[in-house]
Structure 1
């Protein structure tokens, strides 16, 4: 068997090792099909030249050396190798805490690629492996298992870019920052006439709903004054964002706003204050171009 990597050029030389009979010519075959213009001979040695070998050229080949006494035959198989491709991995799995979570990944190639799983936060530690396919099974999944995982496909020919998969264990909304539930205020600033923006971010699974209120009582909806974005998954795992935009800020918009996020497992409250920009501090002393203090 002859090995060659896809895209490379390849030369096969055949010497029938018989000097007793003059070799008139060689005939090359791929299966039952004769190959013309690909073979030549020099000094009694037959040569088959394939430039930029393609996968479709893999198969059984044979050569016949025609001598003054008859014909001599030889055959071989050409194996065209190529790197991993068609990598398919689980994109996102959501399970309840304590259940079993499975991430699957497969890839094709010649030779069959090795498949390994790592965690994105620790890409150097291999969690599971297989050949052609690898199924990462986590029993009794906990919130600590939530995160991004990477499927790697590699072979002696090449290594493919890793493919991401998200494993999400159900959880109530919690702050994406260090804000405590309902007890701290997140401050944002906007000048009169500008657009004020308040970004409410939480970790939650499944996706939470968001409700905005102003002055702790009036529910805000999208209208001429306010715009509320649809919940957006920002990290591909559990971080969700709801953006409240206050158009054409006026003095009475400098007040308190509340974001309430909720899913089947609980709720979380974040308080916001929209404030005018702080005036620049008055310098205590000035220095002129000559370095003198004023």
Structure 2
């Protein structure tokens, strides 16, 4: 047996031999104390052909005769590769809600657990647990839990985060400039899961009447349509041959079964034309 109190480090699956050799007169009786998952040895030496992680712990032998009793012990530490225990493959969360993802892992040495957004090539390493105070549609994608061991490498598991909820119109410039007589497009980028099923533009005419134009609709010089985008759809209002009365506020509205969102854009004359109009 190694020095009393010493630690023996082995890798899971390796053979281990522990012996308790005693010289005494009169002869000593040897008894063992071993971890519960290890069969109690009956001899001064015993052999484990392939040690398992649940067999790590303290092994001690006691030698006793009519004169004295002595005990020595050794600590067997079993190293094994990291393994992720969490088995979540898909997580659905409502836009704007808080998301907490905890990745549990085992290993010896204890692995360092982190997260990576694999859908974003510029993503930084994220801490575990992964906490997002308010989820946005841009956070939809694949997240990888990584359990990294300084001795064995790493284990990985992927979770797909699906963000659902009412449409959200992404931040963009609220002001669009155009010249009289030119063509211009007003755009609203919309994130939505499930997809937008209705959308329209609305504005107030010079006579005070409110006008609404649904997507894929046309009215005089105005056309409304949608384009697919990475985050959902882009609503477009195209105005041909811009007139002075067109310089006003335009509202884009997107709707799905969870609700709706709107955003106001302002169409203004180009700076040079503003100066000429003064």
TM range (shorter): 0.3 to 0.5
TM-score (norm 1): 0.45
TM-score (norm 2): 0.47
